[in-house]
Structure 1
Amino acid sequence: MSIQVRELHHVGFSVPKQLVGPMHDFYRQVFGLPADPGRWHIPGVPGYFLEMPDATQLHIMGNDGVSPYAQGEGRDPVCNHLALTVASLEQAAEELRRRGIDFFGQRNVAAAELSQLFVRDPAGNLLELRQRQDD
């Protein structure tokens, strides 16, 4: 059984902290993307959630080196990543285990009720799997 993807939620860009402001200005001025005023405060990770026209977001995350949320080599959720909303995180974890695919979980540091799973594809790209709160 495959993991049921509902939507592309966001693309996350990890940038040096001194570039957070210029990145925000670039995407706001050049592409007209407004910032989501509801972005959570993520301790140690300054940034912005920028709204895309199709309800997806671009997440700008300030990070100099390894973030305080890293769980070891290659397990840093504050790296460049693509976030997919899935029907069920529990089912996604079961499917990844069944297939022998390594992943790690992360409690959302800004919203304790949210959980995320992170997995790398065969090319090493980091994917965040998330579930809508209302599911």
Structure 2
Amino acid sequence: MEITDLHHLALPCSDLERSRRFYREILGLTEIPRPALPVAGAWFRVGVSKELHLVVGDAQATFRASKGMDTNDIHFALRVASYRQALEALKAQGYREDTGPDDPMGIRTSMRIGYPQIYILDLDRNVIEINAARAD
């Protein structure tokens, strides 16, 4: 088997309209057409050729529930052109640095692997890493 690329990432969500707003307004992703499927959801374009699929979860879905920020937990990473602009955009949306791990609007930053990283939670407490090639 030769894997050539990562096509999409699927995340459970509990409230589709709330999650759609988050991914459009906070992260600035573009919603793309989605085929008629037996479960509610929304698809978003990430970069040029990647996709993020939101799927409305039921009682069997895997949610992080009340877990706080844990950067070592399951997460996905988005690469941005400007670390500084990403941090400023998140702060303009109400995110805050240096808060406790249970703050849903908290930002955790790191340089531990050689490039700048920002970690936030979405509305279902999925961990999102936003990183850049370098600090600017």
Structure 1 and Structure 2 fold alike (TM over 0.5): no
Structure 2-normalised TM-score?
0.42
Comparing both chains, which one has the higher relative contact order based on Cα–Cα distances under 8 Å and sequence gaps of 6 or more? Answer: 1
Structure 1-normalised TM-score?
0.42
